[in-house]
Structure 1
Amino acid sequence: MNLAPATRNGLAAALTAYVCWGLLPLYFYVLGDVPPLELVGWRVVFTMPVCLAIIWARKQAGELRAAFANPRLLAQLLLSALLIGSNWLIFLLAINNGQALATSLGYYINPLMNVLLGTLFLGERLSRVQWAAVALAGAGIALLLAGAVETLVVALSLACSFTAYGFVRKHTQVSAVPGLTIETTLLLVPAVVIVILAANSAQGTSMASGGYTPALIMGTGIATAIPLMLFAVAARALPLSTLGFVQFLSPTISFVLGLTVFGETLDTTRLACFGLIWAAIALYSWDMLRRSGQTPA
């Protein structure tokens, strides 16, 4: 199948972004000795120069200045900054506690929560097949109440915070990198306070650790900003349905890492939950394809 150059580039950008996000648990697992709150602080600090470099390279300084001059926009970005900062902290706490499978589940649930949010607040309407998919996902989540509450808390916390973040950013009139730059700026003061407190603690700052730890901490800025920039490229070049399918690559990679590298196990409850979530995703995706005319009814 011949694809237009823009579509090929968009697909390559999407695949690269979601592979990077899928591998993040591995990256942060290596940094397991760094306290999660301190790591979030350093992540904000080192994301800032990467964002500014991208702003300079893409000549978006004017858009950045205009956004800073808009109080309503700043208020929206303050909310999104708090949501994404919370999401980062929850994610790092989960990886630090050996719960990569729970993070995978959270990001599998996320697109289905987006659907539900659109129905509740944006007036979007679901077909009966799509409601059936949401019901399957709900059944999978309910299963965790029977014997995997910790997994449920992590998965829903990640899914809810990222869904809310996406909802706020969808209604914030600013593009990806300027938006992330402002979010990072708004989080910078608390981040600096966190790293200063870490430096003055009994344990001391993790940046003074030996080996590869300081370099990996500095690399969190690139690990945060670059996939987001690639995602912005992909979002402009690809149909939403295509992007929706590619996004499942990230939690799938995390799922495989959880079972293999991190040695987590799936008990019957968690396996049944994943099965129902996967069935819900398959059903919803099939209905989307059918409605777009890409597969027979």
Structure 2
Amino acid sequence: MTVSPPPLPANRRRIGSDGAGVIFSLSAYGLWGVLPLYFVLLAPSGPWEVVAWRVLLSLVFCALLLTVARGWGRFLAVLRSPRLALTMGVAGLLIYVNWQTFLAAALTEHVIEASLGYFINPIMTVLLAVLVLHERLRPLQWTAIGLALLAVVVIVVGYGAVPWYALILSISFGVYGLVKKKTGADVDAVSGLALETLWLVPVAAVQLAIVASTTGVTMGTAGPLHTVLLLSAGVVTAVPLLLFAAGARRVSLTTVGLLQFIAPILQFVIGAAVLHEPMPLERWIGFAIVWLALAVLTADQVRHARRPRPPVPLA
């Protein structure tokens, strides 16, 4: 009787996959981090027009990807499932709110506040796990949530304004991630994004009609470079989402949790150092408390991930 060699350890089998996953995730968060600079270059286009073009051109880009990758069968299978189709509609509505809010923040000199929303997002995800999935939190996770709430209170009281952009961004993207998590095994990345944007086509068409009748559509009216940049909105929107989906499948949740801070850090640096947005003392104190909360949450995640798991009993 021949004896087959033992299988490779799990950590050796995943080295290549983990490396590719880290690269994909780094690329996604890096692109999201520098998006404010891209949107600033789109002036004089307003946020309503830009989001409309993002929806329409993302759908065109996804259609090209489905054609090249022969993915129309998977897309139609999702479309024929009422549950999945309606769930993607909910996801599309959430990502629309996120896009519109982020565009409004980037084009009205609120990039730092937008970065605060994505700093809070991991804590919002943990809070949603309690409220929606009824998960039990560990003490350090409750500490991180308490610190995040304290940070918002400090900013509201000290700065004199509610950080609406930050709150809407963190809530919309947190719930969007929850919806995508529930359908991740049934819907591939390209089909999901294509169906999300397909649901938003009527909204985008109405927005463009309103813009055309009020301020006027800027596509093709502000020079060749502006036209090329605006036509790239679909690629700029879809590529980070697809890179994120590819990376999330290859690395652990802890790794994704650590890498996701890259985007808000880049946005914060761009807002403060490049766009010269104000950072009074009250904001520094609020951000410092948020960063402390994230440090506590990250330490808890790393410690929990390293905890040895109980052995699986043999049959």
For 2:282 and 2:215, the matched residues in 1 are separated by 41
Q: Which amino acid aligns with 1:290?
A: R
Summarize the alignment of residues 52-63 of structure 1 with structure 2, pairs less than 5 Å apart.
52-63=63-74
2:170 to 159, 163, 169: 159
Contact 1:109 1:277 in 2 (8 A): yes
Q: Which amino acid aligns with 1:40?
A: V
Deviation track 1:241-290 (CA, whole Å, cap 9, x = no partner) reads: 00110010000000000111100121111111110110011111111111
SS across alignment from 2:288: helix
Aligned pair count reads: 295
CA distance 1:185–1:149, shift in 2 (3 Å): farther
1:123 deviates by 2.0
1:294 deviates by 7.4
For 1:81 and 1:46, the matched residues in 2 are separated by 15
For 1:226 and 1:280, the matched residues in 2 are separated by 30
1:44 deviates by 0.7
Q: Which amino acid aligns with 1:255?
A: F
Q: Which amino acid aligns with 1:276?
A: I
1:49 to 60, 85, 104: 60
Deviation track 1:185-225 (CA, whole Å, cap 9, x = no partner) reads: 11112212322343344534333222411111111111111
Partner of 1:26: 37
For 2:241 and 2:227, the matched residues in 1 are separated by 23
The TM-score, its normalising length taken from structure 2, stands at 0.89
1:184 aligns with 2:202: no
SS across alignment from 2:233: helix
CA distance 1:160–1:86, shift in 2 (3 Å): same
For 1:149 and 1:126, the matched residues in 2 are separated by 32
Contact 1:102 1:151 in 2 (8 A): no
Deviation track 1:64-88 (CA, whole Å, cap 9, x = no partner) reads: 0011111121211111111111111
For 2:246 and 2:43, the matched residues in 1 are separated by 32
Partner of 2:313: none
Moved more, 99-108 or 227-236: 227-236
SS across alignment from 2:266: helix
Unaligned 5+ segments in structure 1 are: none
Q: Which amino acid aligns with 1:257?
A: I
For 2:130 and 2:56, the matched residues in 1 are separated by 37
Partner of 1:292: 305
2:238 to 196, 201, 225: 225
2:275 to 252, 256, 262: 262
Contact 1:195 1:205 in 2 (8 A): no
Partner of 1:89: 100
1:115 aligns with 2:148: no
Partner of 1:140: 151
Contact 1:22 1:252 in 2 (8 A): yes
Q: Which amino acid aligns with 2:187?
A: V
1:175 deviates by 2.2
1:117 deviates by 0.5
Deviation track 1:148-184 (CA, whole Å, cap 9, x = no partner) reads: 3546111001111111111122223322221110011
Unaligned 5+ segments in structure 2 are: 1-11, 309-315
